[in-house]
Copies of this chain bind each other. A is one copy, B any other.
Amino acid sequence: MSIEQYLNKIPSIKRSTHGTINIDPLQRGGLLTDEAKKALIEWGDGYSICDFCPGALDMIKTPPIHEFIHSALPEFLGTDKARVTNGARESKFAIMHSMAKKGDWIVLDKNAHYTSYVAAERVAMNIKVVPRLESPDYSIDPQGYGTAIEEVISESGTTPALALITYPDGNYGNLPDVQKIAAICHEYNVPLILNGAYSVGRMPVKADKLGADFIVGSGHKSMASSGPIGVLGVSDEYTDRLFIKSSNNKAKEIEFLGCSARGATIMTMIASFPKVVERTKHWDEEVEKARWFSSQMESLGMIQMGDKPHNHDLMFFETPVLYEKSKTEKKGRYFLYKALKARKIHGIKPGLTKFFKLSTFGLPMEELQVVVDAFTEIINA
């Protein structure tokens, strides 16, 4: 397709999923607040936030980015210092790249997000995986970190440069015992990264309370922000390595390439921040809704995997009852997607019937009831 052909196509680009009940775990925590929508328009133009830049993104006082990065965000994350990045994966890469070199080892959990692997691969690190329990738990035994660290030491003769734990993971919504994992890592002097892409902005999470040395979060995944944008929190112990400044420009930090979220993205994060802080205070209600939803799904013959009772809005279900049904449906394995679409429910990947994940985060009970009713109808049809 040539440019000219492509150009003719562009004016018609609309999002077809507007108006649906969205249960996609990737998207529930990134829905914009009204304040963020206004910020998008107010600050949409390229480099708008740089009207009064004194030299670097984190130093901008108009709009109040300096206070956000240097005061509000560290308190929110429970860390000494914080930065805004282009996303949780970019936060992880910045940490790994500053803390490790080619050939160093990182220990991470079997439930780690693919971006944790990719970030480590980009640094050319070796990866040691802490196994998870079998189905249906898929949980991480903290002792596995001790075993993995010992294995790295015995195989390579060096201590791992870093460890990482996913809290919660993006498949099962499992919340591992980070305090125990941190204690074990620290016995070996291995700094721990907490991947909070699905926790920071959804639930209360403080790196210092959990014992993590680094924490990363995602604005577009869990902080009601327009992406790509992420956050990073760090203990003072490691700022020397992470915040090294350019020898060619004293205001600019090398690992963030000078300035990271240099656009409307950071203004949506700031605009949503009051509501994000507030919603983390009502996390117990989210857990309650998730547990109710899980029980309803199980009463229909589907089985929730992972932590039980569940402690997070992200849930994974095995659904043999739907798989059996798909065998006789005209649309085959696409029948579930089509049936949900007909009921204006979006977020389960087309083609899945044996298992799927979903999220109940921020959905009112009435809408969750609509989803439960939909599954009831589909299963009983």
**Interface residue range, chain A:** 35 or more
Say yes or no: A47-B26 contact (C-beta < 8 A), given A13-B271, A76-B3, A118-B258. yes
A42 CB within 8 Å of chain B = yes
With both beta carbons as reference points, the residue of chain B lying nearest to A127 in the complex is identified as: B248
Tallying the copies of this chain within the complex gives: 2
Taken together as a complex, chains A and B put the C-alpha atoms of A17 and B6 apart, in Å, by 35
Could you give, for residues 41-83 of chain A, a 1 whenever the CB lies within 8 Å of some chain B CB and a 0 otherwise? Answer: 1111111101110000000001110011001100110000000
Say yes or no: A31-B10 contact (C-beta < 8 A), given A51-B16, A76-B3. no
List the one stretch of A32-40, A180-188, A286-294, A310-318 in contact with chain B: A32-40
Cβ contact of A227, chosen from B15, B46, B252, cutoff 8 A: B46
Q: Which residues of B contact A14 (CB under 8 A)?
A: 42
With both chains docked as a complex, state the minimum distance between the C-beta of A300 and any C-beta of chain B, in angstroms.
26
Cβ contact of A121, chosen from B40, B115, B247, B274, cutoff 8 A: B247
Could you give, for residues 259-288 of chain A, a 1 whenever the CB lies within 8 Å of some chain B CB and a 0 otherwise? Answer: 011111101101101100100000000000
9 contacting pairs across A/B (C-beta < 8 A): A2-B71, A7-B273, A10-B273, A11-B35, A32-B45, A37-B44, A44-B226, A117-B246, A228-B261
Q: Which residues of A contact B (CB under 8 A)?
A: 1-3, 6-7, 9-11, 13-18, 24, 26-27, 29-32, 35-37, 39-48, 50-52, 62-64, 67-68, 71-72, 75-76, 86-87, 89-90, 93, 97, 114-115, 117-119, 121-122, 218-221, 224-229, 246-249, 252, 254-255, 257-258, 260-265, 267-268, 270-271, 273-274, 277, 346, 350
